[in-house]
Structure formats: structure tokens, C-alpha cells
Amino acid sequence: MLPIRLQIYLAHAGVASRRAAEKLITDGRVSVNGTTVSVMGTKVNVDDVVSLDGIPVVTETSFLYLLLNKPPEYICSSSDPQGRRLAKDLLPARIQERLYNVGRLDYRSSGLIIFTNDGDFAAKISHPSSNIEKEYLVEASGHIPDTVIDDFARGVVIEKAFYRAKKITRIGGKAIRVVLIEGKNREIRRVFSHFHLHPVALRRIRIGNISLDGLVEGASRPLTPEEIDGLRRHSKR
């Protein structure tokens, strides 16, 4: 193996996406051959010993791609100091590989989320430039005015951040269907809060070419080769 950048090595090891691996490095949590590395640009060879928090990591020889239908009140994180239930614990116990979620769904939201140990794949499909659509069903506690739908479709600035739905349609007095591209943190909830609305249910039903398609809450399944290829092709656009 030719020398590769340390963040790429960590991504191949299933530790994190490249972007998240860069933060691990700058936080001083990564060492190479016993020496802490905290700056970008370091390259490693196949015979180097790379450790995270003192524990050696190795590159993955096979990759897993799982789709989970996350129920509400599960957190997308490797641990939680508040003791809340973890979405990753819903994955089959037989899986020994270290998987991490691609993107997030907040604690109260439900729906599709992908888990993998393929860092390159995760980085590509989660980056805003991938233009991969995420579709949500949102139910509010009260009537959603047409002006809210129109403003979200045109774009709205909230605390200096710009939020705009690629597509938004009404499916009931209190419910809408929203398609997003960038997927900024808590985007739908921030827009709803801006208009003094409260979403009582927020469910992601599609990621690119992948939909719920009968997968019950709390259940997971492997992505098919066709689904994986479809997401990869889309991320190159």
C-alpha cells in the first residue's frame, strides 16, 4: 500500500468519515507509532501503528451498509452522557464491525438513516455537494399556513442561515411533505420554530433512491448493491 493521508486511513478503518477523522486528529486523539499527531498532512504506511485514544485501529477489509428505520427517542451517537437510547443498538447484535451513522436524525425524529464502516462512502453521500435528496413527512400541532409553505419554498433567512426546501407540498391541514438537499442541522425544526409552529412528528421517508418501503420502526436491513451504486452515482453529480 502506498502512503495515504491519516484521515483517509481512519475513514477506511471505519472510525469516522474523513471530515470527522480530521477533527479527531486536530483534537490530539490520534497517534502514529506512539507519537500523537494533531496536524493535517501526515501520511501512513501499511506497517505503521495507528491508534485512536490509545487503541490500535486497522483498515477494514470488507464494508457493510445498513439501513435503519429509527424510532423517535433514540439518539444518533456512539454514546450519550444522558443515558438516552442509541440508534446503533437497534442494529443486529451479530454485527461485530464498528459502524457509524451517515448524517443524523435528531432525538425526536424518526425514519431512515444509513450505518456503514465505509468512510469514503459516508463522506461522499453526506456532503452537501452530493445533491442527494432527503424526503420528510412533517405533522404540526396546528394548521400550517400557506405562507409558511411559500416562504420555505422561496427560502428564508433565520439567524443569518439560509433555509430553502427543494420541494414542499401540503398533504393535510397540519401536514406537509418536504424534500431537502443540504440537510442543515435541524433545518425543518428551525423553520417551524421561526414561524411559531411545533412539529409533533417528523419522519424521513427517503434518502436518494432509497425509501422506507415497508421497513418497520426499529428494523434494519442491508442496502442492496443497486442501492449502494445508485447513491454513489448520485454523489458524483
For the chain, percent helix, then strand, then coil, each to nearest 5?
25, 30, 45
- What the block records as the C-alpha cell of 17 is 468519515
SS3 at position 150: helix
Shared domain check, 217 and 158:
no
Q: What CATH number corresponds to the domain at position 31?
A: 3.10.290.10
SS3 at position 103: coil
Q: Given a cut of 80, is residue 61 above it in pLDDT?
A: no
- What the block records as the C-alpha cell of 108 is 425526536
Shared domain check, 218 and 118:
yes
Shared domain check, 82 and 148:
no
Shared domain check, 194 and 95:
no
Shared domain check, 202 and 214:
no
Shared domain check, 22 and 86:
no
With cell 427560502, the residue in question is 155
- Tell how strand 50-52 and strand 199-207 pair up: unpaired
For the stretch 111-136, pLDDT in tens is 999 999 887 788 788 877 788 999 99
Q: What's the pLDDT at 36? A: 94
Q: What's the pLDDT at 121? A: 84
Q: What CATH number corresponds to the domain at position 108?
A: 3.30.70.580
For the stretch 138-196, pLDDT in tens is 999 999 999 999 999 999 999 999 999 999 999 999 999 999 997 678 899 999 999 99
Give the whole-number percent of the chain exceeding pLDDT 90.
62
Q: What's the pLDDT at 25? A: 93
Total structural domains in the chain? 3
**E strands within the chain?**
4-5, 30-32, 35-37, 43-44, 50-52, 55-57, 65-70, 100-102, 110-116, 134-140, 156-158, 161-163, 167-172, 175-180, 199-207, 210-211, 220-222
Q: Is the Cα dihedral 5, 11, 14, 20 positive or negative?
A: positive
Q: What CATH number corresponds to the domain at position 137?
A: 3.30.70.1560
- Which structural domain, as residue segments, surrounds residue 9? 4-57
| Choice between 41 and 189, residue whose per-residue pLDDT is larger | 189
Q: How far is CA 26 from CA 16, 32, 37, 57, in A?
A: 14, 14, 8, 17
Shared domain check, 147 and 168:
yes
Q: Which residues are catalytic?
A: 106
CA distance 8 to 22: 9
Q: Given a cut of 60, is residue 237 above it in pLDDT?
A: no
Contact yes or no for 136/181 (Cβ under 8 A):
no
Q: For the chain, give the mean pLDDT.
A: 90
Shared domain check, 215 and 119:
yes
Shared domain check, 214 and 125:
yes
Shared domain check, 217 and 185:
no
Q: What's the pLDDT at 236? A: 59
Shared domain check, 140 and 178:
yes
Shared domain check, 203 and 215:
no
pTM of the predicted structure, to 2 decimals: 0.77
